[in-house]
Amino acid sequence: MITLDDLFCPSGEIYFAERNSDKRTVCISEVPSGVACDCVCVGCRQPMVAYKGCKNRHHFQHAANAKRECANVGETTLHRVAKDYLAQALSLTIPPKVLREGSIEEVITREVAYSFDKATLERKLGGIVPDVLVWKKDVALVVEFLVTHKCDEEKVLKIKTLGLSAIEIDLSPYRKHSVDELAHVILHEAERDWLHHRFEVDAQARLDDLVRAE
């Protein structure tokens, strides 16, 4: 069983790579051994070798002549796996966003399983590198994942400046769960909160008007 923790390679062993033939992120169990795996590292794009012997746990290693520049391979792998889940389901539960002042409230959105058109990975978007983007027509929602550290204030500020909506999904309670169990966790089960909603400023103005009228 490969767990969420294993994605971050605490033992130095890598369990996912990108297959050249179809650009899919594949598990070590899905490929033949040796260089026949036809894979590259998702972090540094260097060739990988699949080690599938009888004694040690099956894993990928960089080829002997590969230049190793993949300190973030675990985080990148999580993003690739999560993107694949989102791209297949095209549905994601978004949390409620309600502004309140005393007994008065302004509802921006209720909790709902929302449908999207596609999911993508972007290396850079307006000065930030989102974990994953889900799209409805030409509007993107930034999806961030909390495993060890929350999204920092600088990134949140840049998201706000770009006028993007963003949620953060807390995967920290699931570190010992199998990767195969993460799909439902990411899509619907895990705790999630808004980092920013692009309609929040307008909603706050409406709430202020209601408070003044009250």
The answer, yes or no, to whether residue 87 has pLDDT greater than 80, is yes
pLDDT of residue 197: 96
CA distance 173 to 164: 27
pLDDT, average across residues 31-45: 93
Q: What pLDDT is recorded for position 123?
A: 80
Whole-number pLDDT of residue 153: 94
Contact 162, 124 (CB under 8 A): no
Query: Mind listing the pLDDT tens digit for each residue in 91-123?
Result: 999 999 999 988 899 999 999 999 999 999 988
Rounded to an integer, the average pLDDT of 166-187 is 95
Mean pLDDT of 15-30: 93
pLDDT exceeds cutoff 80 at 214:
no
Banded pLDDT at 82 (limits 50, 70, 90): very high
What is residue 68's predicted lDDT score, i.e. its pLDDT? Answer: 62
Residue 95 burial (10 A CB sphere; 0-12, 13-18, 19+):
middle
Residue given tokens 């909790």 in the structure block: 111
| Residue 104 bridge partners (DSSP) | 101
Residue 125's pLDDT band (cuts 50, 70, 90):
confident
Segment 149-155 long-range contacts (CB within 8 Å, at least 24 positions apart): 151/195, 155/128
Query: 67 falls in which pLDDT band (50, 70, 90)?
Result: low
What spatial distance separates the first Cα and last Cα of the chain, rounded to whole Å? 58
- pLDDT value for 35: 94
Q: Return the bridge partners of 165, or none.
A: 141
Q: What pLDDT, on a 0 to 100 scale, did the predictor assign at position 66? A: 62
Q: What is the mean pLDDT of the chain?
A: 91
Whole-model pTM: value is 0.87
Bigger pLDDT: 48 vs 67: 48
